[in-house]
Structure 1
Amino acid sequence: MNTRDAVEAGGRSFFVALPDTARAGALAARLAQVSTTRITHDSGRPWLLGHLTTDRLVTAQVGRTTVAIVGRSDATESRLRRLAEDISVPAQAATAASNFNGSYTTIVSVDGQIYASAAAMETRRIWSARIDGVLVLSDRADVLADLGEFDVDPAAVTIRLLGTMPHPLDRVPLWTEVEPLAGDRYITVDRNGERSRTGTWWYAPQADTSRSDGAVLFRSAVEGSVRARTAPGDPVACDLSGGLDSTPLCYFAAQAQQGVLARTLFNDDPGGREDLHWARRAIKSMPGVHTHEVTSTDDMQDFYEGVDSLDVRLDEPTQAATAGPRIVRMLADDRRKGFRTHITGLGGDHILRGVNAWEHTIVRARPWVGWNRARAQHIPAGIGVLTTLRELADRRTYRQWFADTMRAALAGVPHPEVPRMNDWSSPPAVPPWLTPHARELLRSKIDSVLEAAEPLDRTVAGHIDLYFARDAARLIRGTAQLGQPFGVSYDSPLLDDRVVEAALAVRRDERDTPLEWKPLMKDAMRGLLPNDYLMRTNKIGGGPQSVRGYARHYGRLLELMDDARLFDTGLVDRTEFVASTSPRAREVPVGHVHQAINASVFLAAQRNRTDVTV
């Protein structure tokens, strides 16, 4: 075999699923040198080949059916064997996808036919591509792109330069030949790797549970998801920010026999010690915290420092790139200290905090409740009654909203910082530095997806709940990939499917209110965390650090974009970019600069790969 054709890991954790055909032999050979995991079909041909640095693999075989769970779950061989006994055709494997706590992918071989599904919230994904005439699956898009020697699509990069990506723009693949599978869908592939089918395995729950009942179920789901990470007994580290996301996770991690190392950050900016204050209140209830490591962010990299030298392959641009250097520093320290699991509270804001669009749905079922909540949101913002009425009465379909919103964005119409009550998701902003060529690519792509623009749910609130959860999952997938070169699993249990299901099942007017701070989590943790801790009503951001870091490292960020050839793509006008993004005293960076940074980190990694090296 020519070493030029070999596949290398490049610090990444991934698997590839091949159909049960001799035509997949060449692909298997290219993966052979890097594969630390190799499972065959019943025929003996290669099925699952992978390099798993952070994920656990659990398998069971019954007759000609083999079930595999890849990820961080509480799956066991005995439970998988019982499931495998009831699977005689691939579609029946959908029952296995929702059986466990944690975040994982489900892959099944049934007499050489393949079933695959990932996390409904998309913290894990399945991608497919036809390579050498054979349909191949993987949990990383860039692995398939490298195997197929595909080029990044400029139109897809342009979409990633928007502030937000309303559905279905968020489904446009970075490589046109690599097709994403929606989280609630499964795919089956025939033995020859020629034909595939998709179906639905997951449905969102009805939001009809009271908060008192829902809090019990939510607590159980959170505890189960954390236990899925701690049960093996390996050393565990956990963020303890003092907020209502990481703190409950740290509490449950501390219940494990091995205990937990808790990490708290602070700084000397105004309000910068609040997290430490609240963390110390909460930790009184956690005797299982064997080490509380407190670190000043003054001893860490600045915001934006080191982004230009981030040496991690991400399979799409996300905010993980901008946050990457500090996370990488922490995970490298975890590795040195022997920790292979690090739990973080990312995703909590997206499932525990309400948005204006909820009122659009609530008012249709409970008019007075919805109206009072809507006015409670609008009155402090100085928004009048007529505007509230107009937003609540908006009956546009999702497709109409999408067309109107994208048309306004292309025309440069200013958009609100947060979604209005009649917004199905966050309206995007087209950066002023996009070139006419990029705008034309964007316009063409919008036209091509418009006819397929269907909502994720029939209601505005239902759609935006799923959209925001999956938008957070994009970040979480990216941050998880930061840990792969170190062999440290950077886990976000609050976006596990079972946890999100428990949150979504609670009535929205009780899940969050304009007058409370994450009441569902508070009720879930009442009696476990101290009462004086559960009085917390806010969380301080890192604005001053962002301002300082951006001013100090702006020049290096421009060098990153030059090295990544972002300005050579024909998508970004360098002169306009510098004019609109240059640091300003005491002002946080403009939002759209982050999309350019994230895209540059992604493109730089693509340019640094050699041929089909993974």
Structure 2
Amino acid sequence: MCGIAGLLTHDPGAPIDLSVLTRMRDAMHHRGPDGAGIWSDDGVGLAHRRLSIIDVEGSPQPMHSADGRAVITFNGEIYNYRELRGELAALGYRFRTQGDTEVILAAWRQWGTDCLQRFNGMFAFAIYDRATRSLFLARDRFGVKPLFTATLRDGTFAFASELKGLLANPAVDRKIDPLAIEDYFAWGYVPDHRSILAGVEKLPAGHYRIVEHGKGPSSPVGWYDVSFDQQHRMPEADEGEAIRALLNDAVGSRMVSDVPIGAFLSGGVDSSTVVALMAKQADRPITTCSIGFDVAELDETEHARLIAGKFGTRHHERIVDPGMFDRIDAIAAMFDEPFADASALPTAEVCALARQHATVALSGDGADEAFAGYRRHVFHAAEQGARDLLPAPVRRALFGPLAALYPKADWAPRPLRAKSTFQALAMSGEEAYAHALCVMPPTARDAIFSSRMTRDLGGYRAEQPLIDLMRSAPARRGLDRAQYADLKFWLPGDILTKVDRTSMAVSLEAREPLLDHRLVEFAAGLPQASRVRGTEGKVALKRSMEGLLPNDILYRRKQGFVLPIAHWFRTDLSEAARAAARSETLLDTGWFDPKALSRLAEDHIAGRRDYARELWQLLMLERNVSLLSNN
């Protein structure tokens, strides 16, 4: 795992300022503390920071192809590189190193952009072709590894693994995009189709881009998409056997490492599945790491210990409490953009704990999106069944007035929140799912934004890109569209961003075996009843692990990896909540109505409403704006 950066000038003869490129590279020292490299030629420069995982002593970067035509800077891992190496060797290629970087170069020389289809891995890389004088940038299927880009005022194209890499270049425009603020308050993060800065973009997951001197960057080209429109039916026993085979291969391929390896273990189905399969394939006890909470109903350490004991792991754990709130500035600095998924704090803690014992850690991320494991999937599937029975005009006429009349009950369990259900049934499936994913619905955002901010948004609503994505999805049913949106929107924007930044901040490589594309594609073809049945999600995955994992792990209520921030903001951190709502840093932006922010904080502290997520959003945005203004 590494950090990459580069510059390509508009004028092919223009020199590269190596001091600027070096600053861009070294702003990401945490991504690669084991080594650094830089290469430049007329009009182009590539830089690299290395975290040594495979071929520890070899494979320095930027690396030249054997014929000298191409130069690469690469972040990630290609898990099937040995198989590809054998195939390319049979075609006449000779290799000087034992790692995967040289295999990417040879694959590109042999197959061009089609090489991407052959890679099983997580990656973001840039290859400069010295013959055509063009830059080829690519990102993996699901967006595990990030890539930020910007075109500067003089036409120079810049890229880096993190926004802080770009910000080390003084020519990058720091103007904040108001549409990103709308997106952030809707989702709790800035999604991949936007950046917090107006002049910065993210290469979308499953896309590549070619940039040439004097022409500027071309539009991103999609090279991968997951389809839900082909269904395969098979007996349950065969289905479970196929899933187990795919799981075993995905986990085994991600256990290849020349440095110590471990796993995150929450005690839930997904991380327990990964740990169980690792233990089966390992020749020694594996290392596992868990995080617990000081609020009993959110603490899962007992379940993690159960799995650790069953599989004989070397288990380590740490408890998160309000005293760790002083890490909020460090958390904000990891992300560069505002990021309000509060589970980033415990994720950062488990990464720091894991780094004390390993350099690589396997996670359970991706299974909920692929196999329909979120509670919102269960609700959406049930609601969609009702939508299929009643025409949209009838639903709007029937459920719209009921939603308006029924009292709001955020405090109640979801099945008792009839207002939310009536609202969802009055909407289209796409609108309802966007509403379910929102941290703050449109009316709540309108309530805190100033009139100036509303004008700046020009009618833009953050939900619309997600709704459009669902409507164009290659899908059969409403649940398919919801999962497609999760894989294309929620997963790269929230989950994978969180894990990448928190793990790389401590120079830990996190790998996601449950996002192996072959496993995801198989899951996308499962009948809906193999994903959601009644109130149970992830049906096929759980069935496949019966006999290996205890039933009280497989079928207990999903808990989620969340902080008890609602409780903290009413007790230990109440003054921090007030401070966020009164922050001069935020109020000086002109984005907010000061009285609305103050009411939000006081209503939460008094227990009248639960605004914990909104207050956390304000806190993280304040820290981010401060960081950007001081950068």
Common fold: TM-score over 0.5: yes
Partner of 2:289: 263
1:49 is aligned with what amino acid? A
- Cα separation, partners in 2 of 1:318 and 1:472, compared to 1, 3 Å: farther
User: By how many angstroms is 1:159 displaced?
Assistant: 1.5
Q: Which moved more, 1:147-156 or 1:220-229?
A: 220-229
2:182 is aligned with what amino acid? I
Are 2:20 and 1:30 equivalent residues in the alignment?
A: yes
Partner of 1:61: 65
**Counterpart mapping for 1:51-450 below 5 A:** 51-53=49-51, 61-63=65-67, 64-66=69-71, 69-74=74-79, 76=81, 78=85, 84-85=105-106, 87=108, 92-110=111-129, 111=131, 112-131=133-152, 132-147=154-169, 148-164=171-187, 171-191=193-213, 194-206=216-228, 207-210=230-233, 212=236, 213=238, 215-254=240-279, 255-257=281-283, 259-266=285-292, 269=295, 271=297, 275-283=300-308, 285-287=310-312, 289=313, 291-297=314-320, 300-301=321-322, 306-308=327-329, 310=331, 312-320=333-341, 322-335=342-355, 337-353=356-372, 374=382, 389-390=390-391, 422-424=428-430, 425-427=433-435, 428=438, 429-430=441-442, 431=445, 432-446=447-461
- Cα separation, partners in 2 of 1:565 and 1:580, compared to 1, 3 Å: same
Are 2:567 and 1:548 equivalent residues in the alignment?
A: yes
The CA distance in 2 between the partners of 1:226 and 1:245, in whole Å, is 12
Higher relative contact order (CA 8 A, sep 6+): 1
CA offsets 1:106-149 (integer angstroms, 9 cap, x no match) = 43333332222212322323333222322233333443344233
Q: Is the 8 A contact 1:60 1:68 kept in 2?
A: no
The CA distance in 1 between the partners of 2:504 and 2:322, in whole Å, is 21
The CA distance in 2 between the partners of 1:100 and 1:258, in whole Å, is 29
The CA distance in 2 between the partners of 1:93 and 1:587, in whole Å, is 56
Are 2:473 and 1:457 equivalent residues in the alignment?
A: yes
User: By how many angstroms is 1:328 displaced?
Assistant: 3.3
The CA distance in 2 between the partners of 1:142 and 1:580, in whole Å, is 32
Q: Which moved more, 1:445-454 or 1:80-89?
A: 445-454
- Cα separation, partners in 2 of 1:62 and 1:221, compared to 1, 3 Å: farther
Q: Is the 8 A contact 2:182 2:462 kept in 1?
A: no
1:179 is aligned with what amino acid? E
- Cα separation, partners in 2 of 1:523 and 1:272, compared to 1, 3 Å: same
Q: Is the 8 A contact 2:53 2:258 kept in 1?
A: no
Q: Secondary structure at the match of 2:590?
A: coil
Q: Is the 8 A contact 2:38 2:48 kept in 1?
A: no
The CA distance in 2 between the partners of 1:493 and 1:156, in whole Å, is 34
The CA distance in 1 between the partners of 2:543 and 2:387, in whole Å, is 36
RMSD: 4.3
Partner of 1:485: 505
| 1:514 aligned to which of 521, 524, 534 | 534
Q: Is the 8 A contact 1:116 1:186 kept in 2?
A: yes
The CA distance in 2 between the partners of 1:28 and 1:439, in whole Å, is 42
* Gap runs ≥5 in structure 1: 1-11, 362-372, 379-384, 396-413, 610-614
- Cα separation, partners in 2 of 1:500 and 1:87, compared to 1, 3 Å: same
Q: Is the 8 A contact 2:291 2:350 kept in 1?
A: no
Q: Secondary structure at the match of 1:312?
A: helix
- Give the length in aligned residue pairs: 550
Q: Is the 8 A contact 1:225 1:493 kept in 2?
A: yes
| 2:520 aligned to which of 497, 500, 503 | 500
User: By how many angstroms is 1:152 displaced?
Assistant: 3.3
2:457 is aligned with what amino acid? L
The CA distance in 2 between the partners of 1:120 and 1:594, in whole Å, is 31
- Cα separation, partners in 2 of 1:282 and 1:311, compared to 1, 3 Å: closer
User: By how many angstroms is 1:498 displaced?
Assistant: 4.4
Q: Secondary structure at the match of 1:14?
A: strand
- Cα separation, partners in 2 of 1:333 and 1:561, compared to 1, 3 Å: farther
Q: Is the 8 A contact 2:503 2:510 kept in 1?
A: yes
Are 2:7 and 1:18 equivalent residues in the alignment?
A: yes
- Cα separation, partners in 2 of 1:257 and 1:355, compared to 1, 3 Å: closer
Partner of 1:468: 486
Q: Is the 8 A contact 1:15 1:139 kept in 2?
A: yes
Q: Is the 8 A contact 1:127 1:181 kept in 2?
A: yes
Q: Secondary structure at the match of 2:199?
A: coil
* Gap runs ≥5 in structure 2: 27-34, 87-99, 397-418
